[in-house]
Structure formats: C-alpha cells, structure tokens
C-alpha cells in the first residue's frame, strides 16, 4: 500500500511550491503596482521571491538559518537542546513503566527501557 502513493512525495511539494508562487504573484500584482508603482511579476519571479523568503525567514522544519541568526544575536543557545534532551531523559527514567507506556503511546516516543535492556543484554 505504501508503494502505491510514492509519487505523492514528489507531487505534493511541487504543488505546494507552485501554489505558494501563484499566491505570491497574485498578491504582488494586486497590491504592489497600485501602492508603490512597482511592476508586475511573472510566475518564475514570484517563485524566486518565495525562495528568497524561505531562505531569509526559514520555515517549519527548515529554520536552520533562523536558528543560527538567533544564536548569533544571543537569543538562542545552540547547546540548550542537548541540555533539554538530557533533562528529559532523566525525567523519563524516573517514570514508572506504566507511565512510560502511557506517554510513549500518546506522544509517539520510543521505549527507552527497551533500548537500555537491549544494550545491557549486548554487554
């Protein structure tokens, strides 16, 4: 079943980017010439503006530049994620097995106890 829809992994992003470029082009051509006297955009120029906006501002899941820019400005600590991960690992290990099962099912987390038992069995 999974292999049937493999083409969607290519078509959905292309459709999203095309729709975003058309929205950018439509909004630009509707607002900018009348407000600022700028010229109109073609689809490919709108696609370029959309790509630049993604590079400058980042997006969900692709905010690498945004994170580095905030780190440079002192508003984001690149190492805080590792610290948070260690803190959560400690909290997770203090939970009872029933609580771990409850939260792993609810949040989709992996079973840490299972992995540590497998590591101990290998030793």
Cα distance between residue 75 and residue 97, in whole Å: 37
6 and 28 in a common domain: yes
Show which of 33, 50, 73 is a domain's final residue: 73
49 and 69 in a common domain: yes
Indicate yes or no: pTM above 0.95: no
Cα distance between residue 111 and residue 89, in whole Å: 11
Phi, psi of 78, rounded to the nearest 5 degrees: -65, -25
25 and 62 in a common domain: yes
Question: pLDDT of 21-64, one tens digit each?
Answer: 999 999 999 999 999 999 999 999 999 998 888 877 765 554 45
Residue span of the structural domain in which 6 resides: 2-73
7 and 61 in a common domain: yes
C-alpha to C-alpha distances, 119 to 100, 105, 107, 116, 122, nearest whole angstrom: 18, 22, 23, 5, 5
Indicate whether 121 pLDDT > 70.
no
């Amino acid at each position: 079943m999974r292999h049937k829809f493999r083409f969607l992994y290519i078509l959905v992003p292309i459709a999203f980017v095309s729709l975003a470029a058309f929205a950018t082009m439509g909004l630009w051509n509707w607002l900018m010439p009348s407000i600022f006297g700028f010229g109109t955009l073609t689809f490919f120029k709108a696609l370029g503006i959309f790509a630049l906006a993604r590079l400058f501002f980042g997006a969900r899941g692709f905010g690498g530049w945004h994170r580095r820019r905030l780190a440079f400005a002192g508003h984001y600590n690149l190492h805080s994620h590792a610290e948070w991960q260690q803190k959560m690992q400690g909290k997770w290990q203090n939970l009872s097995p029933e609580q771990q099962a409850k939260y792993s099912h609810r949040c989709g987390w992996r079973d840490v106890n299972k992995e540590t038992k497998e590591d101990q069995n290998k030793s």
